[in-house]
Amino acid sequence: MIHIGATIKKLRKENNITQDALAKFLGVSYQSVSKWEREESYPDIMFLPAIASFFNVTTDLLLGVNTVDKENRIKDYEEKYRALMIKEDYMQASELMKEAIAEIPDNYSFLVYYMDALRLIYPYRDERALEFKDEVERAFSIVQDYCTNDRIRTHAKVVMCHYIQSLSNIENSGVDISEIEPILEEMPVMRNTRDFRAIMFYPMGSEKRNIACAKALSEILQLLGEIINRKASCILERDPDIIEAYLKFIETAMPDGDYGQSSYLVIFNYGYLGVIKHHNGDDEGALECFRKEAELAVKYEEMPDITTHTSYLVEGLEFNKATAFKGGYENIAYAIKEALEDGYDLSDEFRAKEEFRNIINLIK
């Protein structure tokens, strides 16, 4: 990065651009540009994509980056970031991404990772989360303005919506949940997503079409489970048919019990169903649901990281447990044990039942 000033000066001269014109484009003073070119200071890392865009060059050219070294560094940063996020060390993860962005500013995924780490540093409803608002918005704007990868741009939108939602729950934050609406409007509807559209284009009966259909079904089942989960709080103590229908459907689609990315949803929905049955006076049914929940949680944690689906509708599709989303839980079995012990809304009499205690003990 020590030669970036000379590079900016060279590009500016070649394109007959004044320091003032570049400064106005970036929203800085011409004195700042002059200092960069004299290498008395360096541009903020967030300006690098804008400078590259202005001159229609890559940030690699600005920084003189070696491509092979760059790819290795990207992989190294991603592995360290994932490890920190699993440990829930969000502050360190954000610092790591600041370092990554400084070194590789045209990797827009790093900016999204940075946003995500920042939004998670402080717990739900913690007003200190407002401290990062300007920084998160700044990173979001850069991704939307300069990134050409729709997947990354959409990921940034999702993270931004999560952050707005979090801030809107803080008293007197000045942030309203309606601020997510213009962002949501720019995102594709379900029928225009990769997983659904892929099933349309490959030849009928081809292996690629079969796998595309398997991926789409797996994704739809997970989305359905997420929707049922979000609805669960509204249907407790009411008719459990909606959850039973979901579980019956997914068990029909995946009779081998290879639920893949829907595993955590199936597991937790058995728990929600158990709570509903208990509230409706069906303790035997509740015990059956909790037993199924505990057994599936233990089975899931015992699975190898890589498995291949065998159920007909998803046959051949590979599932990677190590990278799968698990509802924010590092270990589903332990999460279920905690829910059974004191998380679920159950009567003391029910919790004292020997059958219920035996179910909890299934999880070591």
pLDDT at 281 over 80: yes
**Whether residues 283 and 334 fall in one domain:** yes
Q: Would you place residue 233 in the very low, low, confident or very high pLDDT band (cuts 50, 70, 90)?
A: low
Contact between 122 and 168 under an 8 Å Cβ cutoff? The reply is no
- Please count the structural domains in the chain: 3
Helix H segments across the chain?
Answer: 4-14, 19-26, 30-37, 48-55, 59-63, 67-86, 90-103, 108-120, 133-146, 150-168, 181-185, 194-201, 207-235, 241-253, 263-279, 283-302, 332-338, 348-351, 354-360
Shared domain check, 94 and 55: no
- Residues 82 and 181 both lie in one domain: yes
- Are both 30 and 109 inside the same structural domain? no
Please tell me the pTM assigned to this model.
0.70
Examine residue 75 and state whether it is found in any structural domain, yes or no: yes
- Statement to judge: residues 168 and 123 lie in one domain: yes
Contact by Cβ (8 Å): 346, 281: no
What token pair was written down for 244? 């039973």
Q: Please, which pLDDT band fits residue 102 given cuts at 50, 70 and 90?
A: confident
3 state SS of 340: helix
Question: Which residues are CB-contacts of 327 (< 8 A; sequence separation ≥ 6)?
Answer: 264, 265, 268, 335
Structural domain range at position 53:
4-63
Q: Are 49 and 115 part of one and the same domain?
A: no
What's the pLDDT at 252?
Answer: 94
Does residue 137 belong to any structural domain of this protein? yes
**List of residues 6+ apart from 123 with CB closer than 8 A:** none
Domain contains 232? yes
Q: Are residues 225 and 332 in the same domain?
A: yes
Task: With beta carbons less than 8 A apart as the criterion, state whether 319 and 259 touch.
Answer: no
Looking at the structure, tell me whether residues 277 and 172 fall in a common domain: no
Q: Is 224 exposed, middle or buried (0-12, 13-18, 19+ CB in 10 A)?
A: middle
Q: What is the pLDDT of residue 323?
A: 83
Instruction: Note the pLDDT of residue 1.
Output: 45
Place of tokens 């905690």: 338
